[in-house]
A = this chain, B = another copy of it.
């Protein structure tokens, strides 16, 4: 059974006349007759009653007719949806972000985007920067917000903003060396902020007691408050959360971490992604100057 067969079938069913159906389909009558016969043979039932004056559906035919209408409707819908998906944002859009970006920078963007393009199914995945890069490279994500610049030859990256990193502690830290023999609370190993911090500490020869890994921002902040140790984090996130903690800016070359939106250079750009990017650029122009 075939979509063309179903179209021929429904046309005959509605015209109740093979010759007229043929005309309306711009076919020759014999062709329509043959296709109906083939369909009947394939399904092993009679679909029409032939009675000199036109044809009428048998009850098997009516049964098929109900299905055929649905199938044809769906097929048209699919064709239109997919064709327009190149021009009009529709369908799934899978974007990744670090937990910090997802929590802080994305919500206003997303709310604008989702109201503008209600036919897009937005899917947001949060991962650490290195996982995100991998997912974009393997085309599992159409784009991602990552921390730190990333000049992979297969990736486009768009600078979105600088984030300020701070050390978060319960009590003031006189100097970086206060970290010696303290616990360091950090995201799992792929996190770019943790990476920055580790470079700094190595260079300054600071050796924390140990590094505790966490999966969420909430957990880290909770533990810092409980005096378990010190964490490194985006300043804007902590100030949102809690004002009782001490924030110590990192020394300058390490203080600022840029956030980039990366996409794969050679990947198919859906209309949904195209509009997402242009909305992102637009918002940057508004907030920046």
Whether the Cβ atoms of B45 and A63 lie closer than 8 Å is: no
Mark contacts of A11-52 with chain B using CB atoms, 8 A cut-off: 1 yes-contact digit, 0 otherwise: 000000000000000000000000000000001111101010
Chain A, 212-250, CB within 8 A of any chain B CB: none
Q: Looking at the complex, which of A69-77, A182-190, A202-210 is the stretch in contact with chain B?
A: A69-77
Residues of B near A46 (CB, < 8 A) are 268
Within 8 Å of chain B (Cβ to Cβ): is A163?
A: no
Known: A267-B49, A268-B49. A75 touches B71 (CB 8 A): yes
For this chain, the copies found in one complex come to 2
Residues of B near A270 (CB, < 8 A) are 58-60
Q: Tell me the complex Cα distance, A55–B86, Å.
A: 19
Within 8 Å of chain B (Cβ to Cβ): is A81?
A: yes
Complex A-B, nearest 7 residue pairs according to Cβ-Cβ distance, in ascending order? A67-B78, A63-B91, A58-B268, A59-B270, A46-B268, A45-B86, A60-B85
- Ordered by A's residue number, 8 sampled pairs between the chains whose C-beta atoms are within 8 Å are A3-B3, A44-B86, A45-B86, A49-B139, A58-B268, A64-B78, A64-B82, A67-B82
